[in-house]
């Protein structure tokens, strides 16, 4: 009799397990709207008849078919979402798929995912950590843009395309820094093998105060340090040859910028609105200042222009309202008439004896001669 009871309980437990799994499967299937294509499922949204779910578990199968994709905007603006799992069958996460899921604290991208669309997790304000599996082939800064508390993105070490170093994402060989998460704070030392800082790599990393650039770095692309509001100083090594437009745009706390001698051109808007900038050491081989390169750098009181400089574009130092002294070490550079130093009403251009092209004014500034003895101090 005891043996029969034992078998009965075992059977009941087995039946309960099967029923539980079937119930969970039906619940998963009922949680989502989806479309099918050649026997594979793309999830399009959560059930429109229900409130936005706090928990989303993307299953590997629905109705016997493999779940392989999450469509664009599938779960966008689900502010209730606090927990997310994605099955290891999903290969693609669409653009804006989890846009503005403001309560989501962390995400793990499984090994199966090979692509993610632009801004897939934009404005996930509570996101603090993201883990990337070994399958993802590319990651752009836009995927996690405006995730202002995201402090680390960690890539699986076996990923053949991407890598991470101290929470930032690089290519596999760490020769290119792709993106630093916007929640990174304090100081950051870029990997020593890095040659290129890609477009917007530190975009709006507003809590970073110090960033150390490695010797051997060659390229700072467009907008690399755009609106890094807390960045206090930067030393650009001799190895850097190229610096894109808007590289340090609106770095409002930047007080010191020291250049190595590799840069020959400072492009458009590079240091625009760096209002705290007081110490500026320009490269000795510099040839050209781009349009509005130092516009509204109101902390500058003096600047030394290397003798190698041959031209200025419009308003390169415009609205530097506290600029008093501009010391030129060479001949008068070409300038587009007036307004290189427009509205710098207290500024005087000082030039050395025996240099050429000077007159009573330069770009609407009064001029005065200064001695080589004074120049030796600059």
3-state SS track over 77-145: CCCCCCEEEECCCCCEECCCCCCCCCCCCEEEECCCCCEECCCCCCCCCCCCEEEECCCCCCCCHHHHC
Q: What does the angle CA 23 – CA 27 – CA 33 come to, to the nearest 5 degrees?
A: 150
Quote the mean pLDDT of the chain: 91
What domain range includes position 41?
33-183
Distance between CA 302 and CA 322 in Å, rounded?
9
Task: Look at residue 212 in the predicted model and tell me its pLDDT.
Answer: 98
The whole-number pLDDT of residue 244 equals: 96
CB 80 within 8 A of CB 57: no
Is residue 268 one of the residues assigned to a domain?
no
pLDDT of residue 376: 55
Query: Region 245-265: what's the mean pLDDT?
Result: 98
Report residue 134 CA to chain centroid gap: 22
Asked whether residue 20 is domain-assigned, the answer is no
pLDDT of residue 21 exceeding 80, the answer is no
pTM, two decimal places: 0.89
Q: What is the CATH number of the domain that holds 100?
A: 3.80.10.10
Say what the pLDDT of residue 29 is.
54
360 in a structural domain: no
Tell me if 131 is assigned to some domain. Answer: yes
23-27, 245-249, 284-288: which has the minimum mean pLDDT? 23-27
Report pLDDT digits (tens) over 270-286: 999 999 999 999 999 99
Number of domains in the chain: 1
The answer to the question of residue 118 being in a domain is yes
User: Per the domain annotation, does 136 fall within a domain?
Assistant: yes
d(CA 195, CA 185): 23
Q: How many CB atoms lie within 10 A of CB 14?
A: 10
Output the CA torsion 178→181→187→191 (10° steps).
-30
State residue 4's pLDDT score.
Answer: 41
Identify the CA nearest to 188 among candidates 217, 214, 162. Answer: 214
Residue 128 has pLDDT above 80, yes or no: yes
Inside any domain, residue 82: yes
Residue 92 maps to a domain: yes
Q: What is the pLDDT of residues 46-57, one digit of tens each?
A: 876 677 789 999
Long-range CB contacts for residues 100-108, cutoff 8 Å, separation at least 24:
100/76, 100/124, 101/75, 101/76, 101/77, 102/126, 103/79, 105/129, 106/130, 106/131, 107/131, 108/133
Q: Is 70 exceeded by the pLDDT of residue 378?
A: no
3-state helix, strand, coil in the chain (%, to 5): 10, 30, 60
Hey, which residues does 332 pair with through a beta bridge? none
What per-residue confidence (pLDDT) applies to 79?
96
- For residue 205, the model assigns a pLDDT of 98
Q: Out of 13-27, 124-138, 191-205, pick the least confident.
A: 13-27
- Residues 351, 94: Cα–Cα separation, whole Å: 59
pLDDT in tens, 320-368: 999 999 999 999 999 876 689 999 999 999 999 999 999 999 988 999 9
Q: 1 pLDDT band (50/70/90 cuts)?
A: very low
């Amino acid at each position: 009799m005891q043996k029969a009871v034992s078998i009965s309980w075992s059977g009941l437990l087995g039946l309960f397990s099967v029923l539980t799994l079937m119930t969970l499967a039906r619940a998963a299937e009922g949680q989502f709207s989806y479309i099918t294509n050649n026997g594979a499922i793309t999830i399009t949204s959560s059930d429109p008849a229900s409130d936005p779910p706090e928990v989303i578990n993307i299953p590997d199968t629905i109705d016997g078919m493999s779940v392989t994709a999450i469509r664009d905007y599938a779960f966008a603006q689900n502010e209730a979402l606090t927990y997310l799992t994605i099955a290891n069958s999903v290969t693609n996460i669409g653009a804006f798929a989890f846009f503005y899921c403001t309560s989501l604290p962390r995400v793990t991208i499984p090994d199966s995912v090979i692509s993610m669309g632009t801004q897939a997790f934009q404005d996930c304000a509570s996101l603090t950590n993201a883990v990337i599996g070994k399958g993802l082939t590319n990651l752009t800064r836009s995927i996690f843009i405006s995730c202002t508390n995201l402090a680390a993105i960690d890539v699986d070490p076996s990923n053949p395309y991407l890598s991470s170093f101290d929470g930032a994402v690089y290519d596999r060989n760490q020769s290119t820094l792709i993106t630093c998460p916007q929640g990174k704070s304090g100081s950051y030392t870029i990997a020593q093998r890095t040659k290129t800082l890609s477009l917007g790599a530190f975009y709006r990393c507003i809590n970073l105060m110090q960033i150390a650039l490695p010797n051997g770095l060659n390229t700072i692309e467009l907008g690399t340090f755009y609106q890094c509001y807390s960045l206090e100083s930067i030393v650009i090594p001799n190895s850097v040859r190229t610096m894109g437009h808007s590289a340090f745009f609106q770095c409002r706390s930047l007080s010191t910028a020291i250049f190595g001698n590799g840069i020959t051109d400072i492009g458009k808007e590079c240091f625009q609105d760096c209002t705290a900038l007081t110490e500026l050491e320009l490269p000795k081989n510099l040839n050209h200042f781009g349009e509005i390169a130092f516009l509204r750098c109101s902390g500058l009181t003096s600047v030394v222009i290397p003798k190698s400089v041959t031209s200025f574009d419009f308003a390169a130092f415009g609205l530097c309202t506290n600029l008093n002294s501009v010391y030129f070490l060479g001949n008068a550079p070409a300038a587009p008439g007036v307004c290189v130093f427009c509205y710098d009403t207290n500024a005087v251009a000082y030039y050395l004896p025996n240099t050429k092209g000077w007159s009573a004014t330069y770009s609407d500034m009064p001029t005065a001669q200064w001695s080589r003895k004074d120049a030796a101090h600059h």
